[in-house]
Amino acid sequence: MLIRIPAAEGTAEALVARPSSGDGPFPGVIMYMDAFGLRPRIQEMAQHVADWGYVVLAPNVFYREGTVAELAPKADMTTPEGRQAAGRPAFARIGRLTAERALRDIDAWVAAVGALDGVQPGPIGTVGYCMGARLAIRTATAHPEVVAACGGFHGGGLATDEPDSPHLGLARARAQFVFGHADRDPSMAPDAVARLGAALEAAGLTASNQVYPGAPHGYSMADTSAFNPEATERHFRELRALLDGALKG
């Protein structure tokens, strides 16, 4: 289901997924999409998580650039050529979503998930894919009082030399973290994985920071040529253990 919610610079669409069965209320989870935006695959993934017993909000973080329909990939991303074609405008949008803009929006996403019908008061979880993993970390570090679980999968740019690198805020976080990195990913090279791990350890956080062998960047996205079923299933297992342990414990 698509809803409209107030964001920092306008109105944003967002997907909401609810459990197919069971009586609420349920913990809330913010799911951050990858660079290719809200589309049926993100809806499938949100519903998969919702059916574990969560209400999932997946916002269109590119709302400044257009609606969900306007930004939907037009190419067949199941081929490398199609994925590359869809990536060119998507990656330009990533560059325009600065850390400052993202943080103002994150306040809105946190408020929105807490206000959804059927969401229980208390801690929430967040998970992000590709560039969405950066947003998930920023959510956990900007709202440590409410974010108890944070997952990031095939994320890029999580621990860089830039002054606004997401990993630099981890000392403020109180969440449990799980990261499943793509193998040989230039956007998250071994030195960046090690830097992220060191920041998690220095902050005293409970965390898993693993590289999935043989899994390419984008491995969870079944509508693209990067899809890897084994890595996708592993990520779902680890994400469910994280959310259940932190939010249902």
Which one of 34, 185, 223, 235 is the catalytic residue?
A: 185
* Residue 223 annotated among the catalytic residues of the structure: no
* Residue 185 annotated among the catalytic residues of the structure: yes
Which one of 154, 181, 217, 235 is the catalytic residue?
A: 217
Level-2 CATH architecture, domain 2-248: 3-Layer(aba) Sandwich (3.40)
Which one of 34, 105, 130, 154 is the catalytic residue?
A: 130
CA 93, chain centre distance (Å):
16
Model confidence over 165-201: pLDDT tens digits? Answer: 999 999 999 999 999 999 999 999 999 999 999 999 9
Residue 122 has φ and ψ, to the nearest 5°, of 125, -160
**pTM, entire model:** 0.98
* Residue 235 annotated among the catalytic residues of the structure: no
Share of the chain above pLDDT 70, in %: 100
The closest alpha carbon to 175, from 130, 140, 204, 224, belongs to 140
Amino acid identity of residue 9, one-letter, is E
Q: What is the mean pLDDT of each run of 10 residues along the chain (249 residues)?
A: 95 98 94 97 98 98 97 94 92 94 97 97 98 98 98 98 97 98 97 98 98 98 98 98 96
Place of tokens 């909000």: 57
Q: Are 246 and 123 in contact (CB under 8 A)?
A: yes
- Rounded to the nearest 5 degrees, what angle is found at the Cα of 215, between the Cα atoms of 210 and 57? 75
